[in-house]
A and B are shown apart, each in its own frame.
Chain A
Amino acid sequence: MLQARKNRLWKLIIILFLSAGGIALILFSLNSKLDLFYTPSEMLQAELKSGYRIKLGGMVKNGSIKRDGTIIKFQVTDFVKEVPVTFDGIPPDLFKEDSGVVALGYFINGMFEAEEIFAKHDENYMPPELYMEEDKV
């Protein structure tokens, strides 16, 4: 390879290395701030100032959904800790037990008061018949 080309290649590798390094430093320092939500364990551990709107995410605990008019109460779990949630409104269609959920609201005295609820679905796609069979097993 020509010497001039070698020099240009090295310059390019240095540019790439520096930009990757710079962005890696930013991402490492932001780290968990880039997470969309707190898991129940994180929420119970963290010293959160009440009055800040935050997001809680996890699975809706099986058998925990209780409806009272338009008010919905359920437990969000990460299979270690649980946080009780109340929500007044219409949840998305995919909101159900044993399924992922993200709630936006306030954490007050061990109780999460949600203003909005989003359903999180998983990466599996299958026809209904297969799904029924899997449920039986």
Chain B
Amino acid sequence: MITAFIHQFSSAKSFVNITEKLYPFFLIVGVSMLILGWTWGLLFAPQDAVQGNSYRIIFLHVPSVIFAELIYFFMAVCALMHLVWRVKLAAYLIKSAAPIGAMITFMGLLSGSIWGIPTWGTWWQWDARITSTLILFIMYLGILTLHGSFSNLEKADRLMSILVVIGVVNIPIIKKSVDWWSTLHQPASISVSGGSSIDPSMLYPLLISVIGLGFTLIALGILSSRSYIFTREKNKKWILEHV
């Protein structure tokens, strides 16, 4: 039964059909929550006692780096599906999620650097948190380059998936880097268990921005994966019917 379920939802055809209906929902909810979260955060949330107004870049920085890591984790799950169950759709999803992951990791690094100038007094230090995030960015680029360097696309899919699995080791390192080593970057403000050292008046707009960016990125992912599916399966009969 599980196999039947996987086969049903792992076909590119049903993915295209389902996401076609879901896309407007994710886009509208995501963008409106982003607008709400960022307006609230930038205009109405109070200043920070120590950092003044410069802390407000948190509403861009924290959502970006959260999804920089989550997208990689999603790609690793897809790599498992592709390598063990030979699900083609999973490889398509990795290939189309990687540019989005690279973009959002770059946003995280950029916003962190901009934040560092007024608060730390430097835009870059080779501390464990910043360096491991830079490695994540390079992993995304490496995954795309590896896939692009094969003319045999099936082989490219498989090797790309193996590289994704190898690189997933970096994710817990990024997460724990501020605890394992001394860094310029401060420890985590929000923990998975629910604790937070951010005042609620700043935390609510931050959480809304995180959810908003997540939905927006899912909408972007749907767009990019659909266009990639169309190029990869352009000779299939169902594509011709669909278009």
Contact = CB atoms under 8 A, between A and B. Distances in A.
Contacts of B201: 127
Given A23-B173, A34-B128, A126 B182 contact: no
Nearest to B55: A125
A23 B118 CA distance: 34
A12 B77 CA distance: 12
B181 A34 contact: yes
B84 A123 contact: no
Nearest to A130: B199
Interface string B126-139: 11100000000000
Contact of A119 (B120, B127, B189): B120
Contacts, number: 117
B183 interface: yes
Contact of B48 (A23, A39, A125): A125
Contacts of A102: 125, 184
A66 to B, nearest CB: 20
Interface string A53-73: 000010000000000000000
Interface string B9-47: 000000000000000000000000000000000000011
A117 interface: yes
Interface string B157-193: 0000010011011100100000011111011110000
B58 interface: yes
A48 interface: no
Nearest to B130: A36
Given A12-B84, A36-B128, A123 B184 contact: no
A120 B184 contact: yes
A16 interface: yes
- Interface residue range, chain A: 35 or more
Nearest to B178: A123
A8 interface: yes
B173 A126 contact: no
Given A125-B198, A127-B48, A130-B49, A8 B84 contact: yes
Contact of A8 (B83, B118, B125, B127): B83
A75 to B, nearest CB: 18
A27 interface: yes
Interface of A is mostly: mixed
Given A91-B121, A123-B187, A36 B197 contact: no
Interface in A110-137: 116-128, 130-132
Given A15-B162, A102-B125, A118-B122, 19 more contacts: A12-B84, A16-B169, A20-B169, A23-B169, A34-B181, A36-B181, A92-B120, A116-B121, A118-B125, A121-B51, A121-B120, A122-B50, A125-B202, A126-B48, A126-B198, A126-B202, A127-B46, A127-B48, A130-B49
12 contacts: A12-B83, A12-B84, A12-B165, A23-B169, A32-B181, A93-B118, A118-B121, A121-B50, A122-B186, A124-B198, A126-B49, A132-B49
Interface of B: 46-51, 55, 58, 80, 83-85, 118-122, 125-128, 162, 165-166, 168-170, 173, 180-184, 186-189, 197-199, 201-202
Interface of A: 5, 8-9, 12, 15-16, 19-20, 23, 27, 32, 34-37, 39, 57, 91-95, 99, 102, 116-128, 130-132
Query: Which 6 pairs, one residue from A and one from B, show the smallest C-beta to C-beta distance?
Result: A92-B121, A131-B49, A127-B46, A126-B199, A36-B127, A35-B182
